[in-house]
Chain A
Amino acid sequence: MRVLLMGNPNVGKSAVFSRLTGTHVLASNYPGTTVEYVRGSMKLADQTVEVVDVPGAYSMEPSNRAEEVAVRMLAGGDVIINVIDAANLERNLYLSLQLLQSGKPIILALNMWDEALEQGIATDTAALEKLLGVPVVTTCALTGDGLPLLKNRIAEARPGHLAIPPGQDLWQTISTVVGKTQKKPEKGPDFRQRLADLTIQPIAGPVIALLVLLLSFAFVALLGDWLHEEVMAELFEWLWMPVAVHISGALGQSGFMHDLLIGGLVDGTIDFEQSFGLITTGLYIPLALVMPFIFCFYLALSLLEDIGYLPRLGVLVDTMMHRMGLHGLSIVPMMLGIGCNVPGAMAGRVLETRKQRLITATLLAIAVPCMAQQAMVVGLLGRAGIAGLAIVYGTLFILWVLLGMILNFFFRGDTPEMLIEIPPYRRPYWKSLSKKVYMRMSGFTRSALPYVLLGVFLVNMLYSLGIIAIMSRIFEPVISGLFGLPGEAVGALVIGFLRKDVAVGMLAPLGLDPVQLIVASVVLVIYFPCAATFVVMFKELGLRDMFTALMIMIVVVVVVGGGLNVLLRTTGLF
């Protein structure tokens, strides 16, 4: 048996799914969190049934990719749990009636029941059950209230018997149903609401947004750096160094195995940042250098998500985004992309047109560095002062805007106007917040750790087989002529195909000057997506559009990398 969780966006389907199946999926306070269905299972009267978390939809006539998935899923379901926002019954019932017309067995979950009660909304669930002819259960997915009952009553799910007279508008029926079952207290915006609304007012809004973004940035940079320096680096030095030294000694301090596991010794000792062995730099990069920043970033992002700030940020940047062929909602894929381009590119599915998805994916791949890469750049360049970092970020931001405008000009197709529900601000619930950060962290270690190790392994192979030396000689003219980098930097560009953080790490032993570091960092951000991003881009865009994106990328890296090199050298800024 297959049970589908369906309903409008942002009503808590994913939260219900996590509760029912014990499999945690991302739940965030904005419409369009789930863009692909997720399967799980639960026990139902000693029978295992399949449960599917479906992307949210407003109606059965899709207007974006995520909704298309929802419509396709419907046919394959045996029972539908229609999750509804109890505080917004009327609008939610529109989809419910369409689902009822499918003739599938349905059970209604009136979720967000806690909020409905708090707002003084009185709902007669028994009457609703009678009118629609399907079981109705009230739930609060945040605390789990009502979920056991929902589970128990799944067996009672049945096709509804609400007969809609032919020719009658669904909304008329809905008004009748709502009129008979729910009463909302009439009230204007109170003080709290007015305060909340300040964040989307013309002047206060952007000021607050700037503060929020600056604070988040400072939080990630400062706390991340502290965690790296004072906690992880220290831990490695105390706990891991003795082990590594021991192994190094046992391997006789040289030879192929030693180079592979420990790497090269710097002044006779192991340097976690530069040795480039599997158990030295291979572990140090992901765990000590990158993870602290990933943790801080996801903490900040998850907080903003759960509060419900992202759609408001989208409203504020909408006008600017239209210049770039996008609309405000594209801020969501961009923000997710700062963590990792992969979920960023996936989130592009909530955008309506091919043009928007293409521009979003191209901008992500070219101008939005992932957190792992940023952590390495900050580590490497930060030592030379804040100015170098400012140039890197400034260049990327200008590139992001300009490239967006250029793509908007060249890509045919149109960009619809923004139409998005702004969810109420919600108090973050620490349990689900920490669960979410934990999920994202373990996702990072699971997917990044093997790739980083593979990257370090390849670096060693390429070096010891002399391939890097050959490639350096071949590409020297381009790399040093154009970007002013030494020939060995080609190694970083090669590994960049796999993992960008390892690639940036490879710059460390090269002894580059500040200008070279800046140019190399920017070039590594732009020039090619990492393997994982490459795969999703292909899946989301298809071969042709991905090829277009890659061509653009090559042009951009030559222009920006070369230009930056010339500019910084001739102005003598460094």
Chain B
Amino acid sequence: MPKSLIDLKKEEKGVIISFNGGKEMSKRLMDMGIRTGKTISRVSSQILRGPVILSIDGRQTAVGWGMASRVMVEPARNGRGSGNSEYVDLKSGVSRDSTESRESFELRESGDSTDSGNSRDSDDS
């Protein structure tokens, strides 16, 4: 069930599914890489509605309480890998597992990226 970032418990993970805020707010968040489909985990929060600190791709960002309350996340099921939808291979639409071999680096595609045009972000589901 979706809940907002502030309802996430400390160290709990979730996938961002939507922003309940204005365009301005979501733009600022998106510019900093906080966007739908990303898996985040909550690092801490401050008392008296201070900023919420979240971790995304191993980097931390402090987000004001009000803003954080408008970021909706789907709590990640624990146990199953890590639910790191940030490594979605858009071509197949399948999450790449960390066990996948390094072979994937040999995927030398030409510069055109039209193949990703018909792919979908995993958050659509």
A contact set with B: CB distance below 8 Å = 58-59, 61, 63, 87-88, 90-91, 94, 119, 122, 124, 126-127, 130-133, 160-165, 168-169, 171-173, 175-181, 183-186, 189, 197, 200-202, 205, 311, 314-316, 318-319, 327-328, 416-422, 424
Provide the residues of chain A in CB contact with B119, threshold 8 Å.
172, 176
Closest to A168 in B: B117
- A241 CB, min distance to chain B CBs, angstroms: 54
Contact size range, B? 35 or more
* B125 is an interface residue with CB less than 8 A from chain A: no
Interface string of B6-23 (1 = CB under 8 A from A): 000001000000000000
Q: How far is the CA of A161 from the CA of B113 in the complex (A)?
A: 10
Provide the residues of chain B in CB contact with A421, threshold 8 Å.
32, 59-62
B contact set with A: CB distance below 8 Å = 11, 27-33, 35, 37, 43-51, 53, 55, 57-67, 81-82, 84, 86-91, 96, 98, 102, 104-105, 107-117, 119, 121
Q: How far is the CA of A532 from the CA of B99 in the complex (A)?
A: 60
Q: Name 21 A/B residue pairs within 8 A (Cβ), A-sorted.
A: A58-B32, A61-B27, A61-B31, A63-B28, A94-B33, A119-B58, A132-B111, A176-B90, A180-B105, A183-B102, A189-B55, A200-B53, A202-B44, A202-B45, A202-B47, A311-B62, A315-B51, A318-B64, A418-B64, A421-B61, A422-B61
Q: How far is the CA of A315 from the CA of B67 in the complex (A)?
A: 14
Contact between B105 and A122, CB atoms less than 8 A apart: yes
Known: A122-B105, A163-B114, A417-B64. A58 touches B31 (CB 8 A): yes
Provide the residues of chain A in CB contact with B29, threshold 8 Å.
419
Contact between B62 and A90, CB atoms less than 8 A apart: no
User: Which of A91, A126, A164, A316 has the most CB atoms of chain B within a 10 A radius of its CB?
Assistant: A91
Known: A58-B31, A122-B105, A172-B90. A200 touches B111 (CB 8 A): no
Given contacts A59-B31, A168-B117, A197-B43, 9 further A-B contacts (CB under 8 A): A91-B59, A127-B108, A130-B111, A179-B96, A185-B98, A318-B62, A416-B64, A417-B51, A419-B28
Q: How far is the CA of A186 from the CA of B55 in the complex (A)?
A: 13
- A155 CB, min distance to chain B CBs, angstroms: 21
Tell me how many residue pairs across A and B have CB atoms closer than 8 Å.
174
Contact between B104 and A315, CB atoms less than 8 A apart: no
- B82 CB, min distance to chain A CBs, angstroms: 5
Contact between A176 and B111, CB atoms less than 8 A apart: no
Query: CB < 8 Å: which of A94, A163, A197, A420 contacts B111?
Result: A163
Query: CB < 8 Å: which of B31, B51, B108, B121 contacts A418?
Result: B51
Query: CB < 8 Å: which of B48, B50, B61, B110 contacts A130?
Result: B110
- A11 CB, min distance to chain B CBs, angstroms: 12
- B66 CB, min distance to chain A CBs, angstroms: 5
Contact between B51 and A318, CB atoms less than 8 A apart: yes
Q: How far is the CA of A56 from the CA of B110 in the complex (A)?
A: 31
Provide the residues of chain A in CB contact with B66, threshold 8 Å.
417
- A156 CB, min distance to chain B CBs, angstroms: 16
Q: How far is the CA of A184 from the CA of B100 in the complex (A)?
A: 12
Nearest 4 pairs of A and B residues by beta carbon: A417-B64, A91-B33, A422-B60, A58-B31
User: Which of A131, A178, A179, A421 has the most CB atoms of chain B within a 10 A radius of its CB?
Assistant: A179
Provide the residues of chain B in CB contact with A422, threshold 8 Å.
53, 59-62
Contact between B62 and A133, CB atoms less than 8 A apart: no
Q: How far is the CA of A163 from the CA of B53 in the complex (A)?
A: 35
Closest to B91 in A: A176
Known: A58-B31, A419-B29, A419-B64. A202 touches B46 (CB 8 A): yes
Contact between B116 and A184, CB atoms less than 8 A apart: no
Closest to B50 in A: A319
Query: CB < 8 Å: which of B28, B81, B113 contacts A173?
Result: B113
Query: CB < 8 Å: which of A197, A311, A418, A424 contacts B59?
Result: A424
Known: A161-B111, A163-B113. A127 touches B86 (CB 8 A): no
Provide the residues of chain A in CB contact with B96, threshold 8 Å.
179
Contact between A419 and B67, CB atoms less than 8 A apart: yes
Q: How far is the CA of A470 from the CA of B107 in the complex (A)?
A: 85
Q: How far is the CA of A421 from the CA of B31 in the complex (A)?
A: 12
Contact between A417 and B59, CB atoms less than 8 A apart: no
Contact between A328 and B107, CB atoms less than 8 A apart: no
Contact between A419 and B63, CB atoms less than 8 A apart: yes
Q: How far is the CA of A126 from the CA of B111 in the complex (A)?
A: 12
- A420 CB, min distance to chain B CBs, angstroms: 5
Contact between B116 and A316, CB atoms less than 8 A apart: no
Contact between A91 and B32, CB atoms less than 8 A apart: yes
Q: How far is the CA of A136 from the CA of B88 in the complex (A)?
A: 24
Q: How far is the CA of A90 from the CA of B37 in the complex (A)?
A: 13
Contact between B116 and A318, CB atoms less than 8 A apart: no
Provide the residues of chain B in CB contact with A122, threshold 8 Å.
102, 105
Provide the residues of chain B in CB contact with A416, threshold 8 Å.
64
Contact between A180 and B109, CB atoms less than 8 A apart: yes
Query: CB < 8 Å: which of A63, A127, A173, A200 contacts B43?
Result: A200
User: Which of B62, B63, B104, B113 has the most CB atoms of chain A within a 10 A radius of its CB?
Assistant: B62
Provide the residues of chain A in CB contact with B32, threshold 8 Å.
58, 91, 419, 421
Contact between A94 and B90, CB atoms less than 8 A apart: no
- A193 CB, min distance to chain B CBs, angstroms: 9
Q: How far is the CA of A319 from the CA of B116 in the complex (A)?
A: 43
- A167 CB, min distance to chain B CBs, angstroms: 9
Contact between A419 and B110, CB atoms less than 8 A apart: no
Query: CB < 8 Å: which of B62, B89, B102 contacts A419?
Result: B62
Q: How far is the CA of A168 from the CA of B121 in the complex (A)?
A: 11
Provide the residues of chain A in CB contact with B37, threshold 8 Å.
171
Q: How far is the CA of A183 from the CA of B63 in the complex (A)?
A: 27
Q: How far is the CA of A184 from the CA of B63 in the complex (A)?
A: 24
Query: CB < 8 Å: which of A88, A127, A165, A197 contacts B113?
Result: A165
Provide the residues of chain B in CB contact with A180, threshold 8 Å.
104-105, 107, 109
- B111 CB, min distance to chain A CBs, angstroms: 5
Provide the residues of chain A in CB contact with B50, threshold 8 Å.
202, 315-316, 318-319
Q: How far is the CA of A316 from the CA of B109 in the complex (A)?
A: 47
Closest to B35 in A: A171
Contact between B59 and A315, CB atoms less than 8 A apart: no
Provide the residues of chain B in CB contact with A328, threshold 8 Å.
51, 62
Q: How far is the CA of A419 from the CA of B11 in the complex (A)?
A: 20
Contact between A133 and B111, CB atoms less than 8 A apart: yes
Contact between B117 and A165, CB atoms less than 8 A apart: yes
Contact between B109 and A319, CB atoms less than 8 A apart: no
